[in-house]
Structure 1
């Protein structure tokens, strides 16, 4: 099922990459966290992590517990190897995983998360270290099974100030990227590492310094402005606003051209490359034909 669901967008839209179908809380569940994904809500944690005992109870991830993910990667590589389509693995970043665990589910204000971060930094860093271990283990399973790039999703880091990100988050994401790099051997040594976030315009500089080869940029910051903030070096990923896909073919074409033009200027300013995609995920009611049209426009540019 993982293989089939991953392949369906590739077959339908002729994308250049396939993103492994999974969820960022899969390794938490495999590590023994009591959670469920509730329709209309998202991940819900049965017992939110708020105390030292709660943190101590979080176990390590046994690679065998996510063996199905490795087997899905092998199936996907068998499907994709005759094509030029790359398989992208992914995992949730420690901060985003921590926010789910502490809040007990999705949140608007992250009050409990910030309360631990500010009020008990030692406990916070202990939790983040455990989550970094889980994230690294999950990504190594995917790398060893054959993914050709990995993406670290820090979906909710945009709710932090730059100072807080640098103090409470960056050291742990840096360790994730460093340990992934150290774990790669032989032909896997060049597997690109992508860092993704939403609402992270103020964090682009520190996010670019944690060790990724590619920095995701959402639609709020033009790509040429993003590379001006970051400086030459990394590649950029992004950044069409997903709501544009509801606005009709003429508007879609206009915005695709604009993103490509922004990317061309970013490349001239020192970006290593550009991966065209949405600045965030595909919204549930999006017409699939609009996605196909975006891919066609990008391929013909």
Structure 2
């Protein structure tokens, strides 16, 4: 299939499609038995940092579930690593950053030179995957959004509320903005390098932006998301996914992004109204619904596409696929999108 025919890229460009394209966040990984075999053999960062393994994992859902796009197997926390912070990851426990960023000295000590060289393994994985895909489907690169990366750098681990990260921002907004800008600069360099290595589109995951009020989102998240979209727009389509920040849809629909990702807490109709139907929307199936019986999944998928409409839409989950989702349920989700027929 030539680039001009890839449904996913057509949808991102706002071109007419006969059905929505479909992929799933976290599709490369933990619900697939073949991935579990590799996980039992190699630790997490070995999988991420070995291009052959990352490529194999990226291809698994294409071969086994049939999604319309591949997303490179990697992690958002490679950016703190590239900036000089240690990141530990224990299975089932989530990430841990033993040394956090607290002071101006800590921010000044962060490395910002040439992320492409310290993250060459991601670029090598992209090149290898691009070659192995042989243009079957497009390849998505990604990074964490600056606000979300700040949360981990300051908090040191995952959190339900990221109080320490928010305290850092609210008590020293100037230093917070300095840190966010550093992360933004590194992320832009990294994403540009991903596009050069073969990524056809990039997604920016702002997993924790929903922790912010609309006013604080405008201070600590939006300026950096829009900078990234502006810097990448001439290189590849950009999908912004500010999870939980439905209030930002209107503003972000005027950014340089090609698409906005949605979680399941916003109605398709409201999302279309807020964005004036002028930008592609992606989402927003609740991943837990993939645990429902297959006929129920198919019914819900049809309802979702009916609500969004076929054009300017990418079918996806509202967050990453859960580890306990049976493979045939993931497949049913993808098949339901592929079989979709609009009610005439």
Both proteins in one fold, TM over 0.5: yes
* CA distance in structure 1 between the aligned counterparts of 2:108 and 2:300, rounded to whole angstroms: 48
Q: Give the Å deviation of 1:192.
A: 1.2
Equivalent in the alignment of 1:67: 120
The change in CA–CA distance for 1:158 and 1:207 in structure 2 (over 3 A counts) is farther
277-286 or 34-43, larger mean C-alpha shift: 34-43
Tell me which of the two structures has the higher relative contact order, counting C-alpha pairs closer than 8 angstroms and 6 or more residues apart. Answer: 2
Counterpart CA distance in 2 for 1:82 and 1:19 is 14
2:271 maps to 226
Query: 1:95 offset after TM fit, Å?
Result: 0.3
Residue 314 (structure 2) pairs with residue 275 (structure 1): yes
Aligned: 1:79 with 2:118: no
> In the alignment, what sits opposite 1:40?
92
Matched residues, number: 287
Alignment of 1:125-140 (within 5 A): 125-140=177-192
Cα distance in 2 for partners of 1:17, 1:115 equals: 39
8 A Cα contact 1:41 1:106, kept in partner: no
Where do 1:1-301 residues align within 5 Å?
1-62=53-114, 63-83=116-136, 85-181=137-233, 184=235, 191-264=236-309, 273-301=312-340
Q: 1:243 to 1:119 in 2, by over 3 A?
A: same
Taking a change above 3 Å as real, the CA distance of residues 215 and 95 of structure 1, as seen in their structure-2 partners, is: same
CA offsets, 1:198-233, max 9 Å, x none? 222223223334431100111111222201012231
Secondary structure, aligned partner of 1:277: strand
**Preserved CA contact (<8 Å) 2:253 2:278:** no
Computed over aligned residues only, the root mean square deviation of the Cα atoms, in angstroms, reads 1.4
Q: Is the CA contact 1:222–1:259 (under 8 Å) kept in the aligned structure 2? A: no
Work out the CA distance in 2 between the residues paired with 1:220 and 1:155.
14
Task: State the alpha-carbon separation in 1 of the partners of residues 295 and 224 from structure 2.
Answer: 43
* Aligned CA distance change for structure 1 residues 212 and 82 (closer, same or farther; 3 Å): closer
CA–CA distance in 1 between the matches of 2:293 and 2:113?
45
- Note the C-alpha offset of 1:41: 2.5
Q: Which residue of 1 is the match for residue 16 of structure 2?
A: none
Aligned-partner Cα distance in 1 for 2:254–2:207: 17
Once residues 39 and 126 of structure 1 are traced to their aligned partners in structure 2, the CA distance between those partners, rounded to angstroms, is 33
Give 5+ residue unaligned stretches, structure 1. Answer: 185-190
Q: Is the 8 A contact 1:15 1:295 kept in 2?
A: yes
Give, in whole Å, the separation in 2 of the partners of 1:205 and 1:61. Answer: 34
Give the structure-1-normalised TM-score. Answer: 0.92
Structure 1 residue 68 displacement after superposition: 1.2
Please give the secondary structure, in 2, of the residue aligned with 1:95. Answer: helix
Asked whether the equivalents of residues 272 and 308 of structure 2 are also in contact (C-alpha less than 8 Å), the reply is no
The DSSP-based 3-state class of the residue aligned with 1:15 is coil
Structure 2 residues not aligned, in runs of 5+: 1-52
Structure 2 length-normalised TM: 0.80
